[in-house]
Every structure is written in C-alpha cells, then in structure tokens.
Chain A
Amino acid sequence: MVSFRCVRASNLTGPVLVSLRTLKAIDLHRTIQSHLNSDGANSSSSKSEAEDAKFAIRIEDAAGQDFVGSGLRFLSNMEVIGDVGDFALMSFGEGECKIEGNAGHFFCHSLHSGLVILRGHAGDSLCALGASGFVAVYGNVGHRVAVGMQGSELVIRGSVGDYACLGMRSGSVVIGGNAGKDFGQGMVAGTIFLRGDAESISQDVEENRMREPDRLKIGLLMIKAGIKSTGKEFRMFRSIHSE
C-alpha cells in the first residue's frame, strides 16, 4: 500500500521539510501500527502488508531550502518541484526521488541506497561519501564531484568542475561533458567514464581501454539514467593504485 501525501513547501516552518525522525518515527510508524491493529495481532499477512506500507511525497514550491529529505528511508516515491539547498537528501536511502530543479552543495551526501534523479544543476561535492545507490544529474555540477565516494553510481549529463572524483574509493562516475583541473586526484579505486576533455588529469589515474563488460556497464547506467546513449564515445579512467 502506498500512502500519497502532497506538501506545499511554503506552508512548512524551518529548513527541514522532511526528516527521518519526524516522518518515519511518527507518520510511518502510525501507519504500520494501524495496519497491525486492524488486521488482528501479529499474523504474517498483516506483517507483510505493514512492511509494504510506504509513502509517496510530493513537495511543491521548494525554494532552495537546506536539508530537504535528510535521512529519509522507506519512501516509495518522492518528488520535489523547485530548487533544493545544501545537504539535500543527506543519507537518503531505500526509495526513489525526482527533483524538478537545481540542488545546492553536498547534494546526496552519504547516499545510502535508492535512485535519485535531478533535472537541473548541482553545486559542489555532489554525492560525497556516497555508500551506494544511483544518482543522475541532467545539468552541470560544481567542484569536487564524488569526493570520497564509496560505492555509489553517478551519471552526469553536463560538465563538472575541478577535483572531480577526489579521493574516490569505489563506484562509477559517468561524465557526459568536460572536467576541470586535477581530474581524479587521490583516487584509490572505482571507474570514471569521460566523454569530453579534462583541463588536467591527475597522475593518480590512467586511461584504460574499454572492454565488453565496461561497455555493458556504461550502457546499463545510461539506461538507468534515462539517457539515450550507448557509451561508445566515452573514455574510461581507473586509478593506478587499484588492483
């Protein structure tokens, strides 16, 4: 069962539109409890139904508020109309989110899992320390994209700034445009697919020839991001430190 809720951003007080404790602990918990009570005690069917109970949230008129969706989990769908500020979707996981606007710095910081699509531009440090999950950005991104990333998958349609993939440990990054200075600085492991040019490439990364599994991988990432491209025109970079 999916409960749908529409929230108008201008009606909410404070910078937090939705947080883990306020939504999950109160609303979601009540929903699960009501399912359990109405169907009788702890029968297996009611339990499974309660576990399937998820929320769909639509936030309208967002105007660059910070910390939107911080720590949200167990959402079936979240949609934001407008821009979001810094540290939006921090530690987000186990759900899908679409944002029809731009995002500030540290978007999807510590991403846990799930799928996020941003139709606008993003600021610095996109997907920093991302542990897992998938992020697609249709616009350009600022500096230090995927800094310290540890397993997430990131597709960027536009260009990225300086220090892209700084200290990246694991995961995949697809960059459809150009990259800035010191591309791949301090990268430990992971894979970067770059379509355009980089101002300067760090000595920590080297270009590798794409093999069939790599082509398959970038093709799947593109399909997941909803971008029509086979990925043939991309170059692949890996860390010289990775085994």
Chain B
Amino acid sequence: MGAVTYPNEKVVKFVDFNFVPVQINVSNKTLTDQFNVTWTPTIIVLDAGGNEVHREVGFLPPEEFIPMFMVAKGKWYFNHEQHSEAQGMFDEALRDYPNSIAAAEALYFMWVSRFKMTHDPKYLRQAYDALTVKFPNSEWTKRASPYRLIPA
C-alpha cells in the first residue's frame, strides 16, 4: 500500500478530503489485540467513538481502494442516518468505478439506504433486481436474495 496506493495523487486527495488518517505499526500489540488484527495491510474505518464501520484486509490498488472507501464513507453516513450523503457516496462509487469490486456493495447499500429513508420495502426488492442484473455472481446479490420474496 505504501509503495503503490498511498502515493497515488487521487488517493491522497480522496483520503485527505474524506477521512482522518492514522497509521499504526503492527508491532503495537495493544491496538492489534484491541482490533483483532492478524495480517497487514488491515485498514479499518472507525467513527469518532471508535466503533468499526468497515474493514479491509489485503492490498488494494488505487482504482479499487478509492471506490472501496467511498462505500466505507457511505456506510459511515448511513450509520449516522445521513442517507442523502450516504447515497451520494454510493452513487459516486457506482458511477466512477462501475467495474470495481466495491460496486456491488455500493449498489446494495444504495437501495438499503433508500429503504431506511422511506421504510418502503419495494426498495429492497429493487436492490435484489438491480444486483441480479448487474452483478449476478456477487456475494451482495446472494445477501439480497431474501428480498426476491417482496412483491415487485
């Protein structure tokens, strides 16, 4: 990450704009134990209270790192019930990085966020329908599969 992804100019701007970045040496046993870190790189998104929002283990190149952490930032908004902002992040990830590994998760949370705003279950069914079309083999399509039972 330090050789390829973190020096990337887009990554630098993205991280500085969206996060408070902190690096901890894996030799810090107190924190690795606290966060159950057993491998590097491990990157965790936390809220200000220290609650975990998202975790990634393993290398991500810039074109995967940015959409993955757009989704993470969206989930942070989602957890704060800032659904318009959350949907903005999910939409940006889908629009700018439609073939990234984070895209299916972005689509899943896009519709779930709409459900949370409205409590209308049709959005969960739309999550399943959209995922089935765009990402038929994704784990997120499987996670959305119960929603196929909701009437369209």
A and B held together in a complex: no
| B interface residues (Cβ-Cβ under 8 A, vs A) | none
| A interface residues (Cβ-Cβ under 8 A, vs B) | none
